[in-house]
Amino acid sequence: MRKAKLFKGTLMFTIVIVLSYIVLGILNTFLFPHSLNDDIWSLYIVNVEKIENAQRYAAKVLGQKCRKSYVQQEMNILFPQKYDINMHPFLDRNSILREPVFKYNTPFGFNTHQNRLHQIMDVMPTISLPEELESESCKRCIVLGNGGILRGLGLGPYLNRFDVVIRLNNAPIQGFTDDVGNKTTIRMSYPEGAPKSQFEYDPYMLFVAVMYKGVDFSWLKAMIKKERVSFWERIWFWQKVTEELPIKPTQFRILNPEIIRETALDLLQLPEPRSKLWGWHQNIPTLGVSAVVLATHLCDEVSLAGFGYNLSQPQIPLHYYENVQMHAMKAQTMHNVETERNFLENLVKAGIVTDLSGGIHCKFCNKLESTTSESLQFFSK
């Protein structure tokens, strides 16, 4: 009697589980019909008017007179006592490391990696920055996010006209130059993100390494010295890393971890890092927002394009170069997408940086608004 009851219970339980799987499966195909293999780009069309407006807006931004030190001054006003106007964005052999570098662990500082840091500093170049970065004249930077929104806007020729073009990770140029241009001044990346194709390396660009873990130092040292990464170190990377970069040792830099710390703790005001047994506190800024902050320290004026994850449109393409949809972004737990969006939106709305593809805040979608600083009252509430 009891046995039969138990058997019945188990049977019911199994049926319920199997049914839920079937229902979930149906729901999934219904909600995300193109999630497997289909080319998501075949359905992607950009409105002609939007293309024209985006290009006209980019031309307008480039046509205005560049304002010397504009972005630092504005950031300093917006984040008093937080934004560090004297920040050195890169580490080279002569860098003087300040105290916060030793206070935090990666990626906010290099506390637990001091030996590796000193070893790598010995092989870093001592020479200065490329011409575009060194020049005293007013510099305009464009930071290119990898968002699908870049596709079809034809902004390539406009992006090439910026003094400094910053690209992230493996963002490809080959095959996408109409939309993303072909000039690269800086490629900012962690080891796993470094492009595999040699055609993605501009002969004069800087490779700016962003360090997240101990083996990243070993990888960078191997790349600078043109050595092999040992098997025991290779197993610690979460994706196959490039074995050789086709650039000279003088073209490598390390991103000052203070940029990541400043971005996360001072500007985004995310919680201080503390140890957690499993997972992340969502306090690691994305490479994209860190690159925008880097650009504010490096340039007189800053624009961005290819930014803006819109999680309420799960089916739109996530990146301009691949077949992945927005809902893939929902699964990640490392970054705080909403906080970053608000931060960038505030900067764009106030005219401190300009958004050429309009994914953060579009100033050309309805009518062409003024690109000059509109009002800082927005922040004083």
The least CB distance from residue 283 to ligand NAG, in Å, is 23
Angle at 223 between CA 217 and CA 229, to 5 degrees: 70
**In this structure, are residues 68 and 137 in contact, taking their beta carbons and an 8 Å threshold?**
no
Looking at the chain, list the stretches that DSSP marks H as alpha helix, in order from N- to C-terminal side: 2-31, 48-63, 70-78, 99-103, 114-123, 131-134, 156-159, 177-180, 214-224, 231-234, 257-261, 287-298, 337-349, 377-380
Question: Residue 163 or residue 202: which is nearer to ligand NAG going by CB?
Answer: 202
Question: Residue 269 or residue 313: which is nearer to ligand NAG going by CB?
Answer: 313
- C-alpha separations of 290 from 139, 203, 284 in Å: 19, 24, 10
The least CB distance from residue 50 to ligand NAG, in Å, is 13
The least CB distance from residue 62 to ligand NAG, in Å, is 17
CA 223 to CA 208: how far, in whole Å?
Answer: 12
Q: Which of 113, 114, 108, 115 is nearest to 274 (CA)?
A: 108
Site map 201..240 versus ligand NAG, x via CB under 6 A? -x--------------------------------------
Q: Is 182 helix (H, G, I), strand (E, B) or coil?
A: coil
The least CB distance from residue 138 to ligand NAG, in Å, is 22
Running DSSP on this structure, what letter comes out for residue 58?
H
Q: Which two tokens stand for residue 254?
A: 């390390």
Q: How do beta strands 252-255 and 186-189 pair?
A: unpaired
Q: Based on the shown chain and the rule CB under 6 A, indicate whether residue 366 belongs to the binding site for ligand NAG.
A: no
Q: Which two tokens stand for residue 113?
A: 């990696």
Question: Residue 94 or residue 313: which is nearer to ligand NAG going by CB?
Answer: 313
Which of 182, 250, 315, 323 is in the footprint of ligand NAG by CB under 6 A?
182
Question: Residue 308 or residue 351: which is nearer to ligand NAG going by CB?
Answer: 308
Q: Is 373 helix (H, G, I), strand (E, B) or coil?
A: coil
Total of chain residues touching ligand NAG, rule CB under 6 A: 6
The least CB distance from residue 290 to ligand NAG, in Å, is 21
Site map 298..337 versus ligand NAG, x via CB under 6 A? ------------x-xx------------------------
Question: Residue 250 or residue 310: which is nearer to ligand NAG going by CB?
Answer: 310
CA 90 to CA 98: how far, in whole Å?
Answer: 13
Question: Residue 87 or residue 324: which is nearer to ligand NAG going by CB?
Answer: 324
**In this structure, are residues 140 and 301 in contact, taking their beta carbons and an 8 Å threshold?**
yes
Question: Residue 117 or residue 171: which is nearer to ligand NAG going by CB?
Answer: 171
Element (H, E) at 142: strand 140-144
Question: Residue 131 or residue 227: which is nearer to ligand NAG going by CB?
Answer: 131
Angle at 341 between CA 338 and CA 342, to 5 degrees: 90
The least CB distance from residue 337 to ligand NAG, in Å, is 12
The least CB distance from residue 195 to ligand NAG, in Å, is 14
Q: Which residues bind ligand NAG (CB under 6 A)?
A: 182-183, 202, 310, 312-313
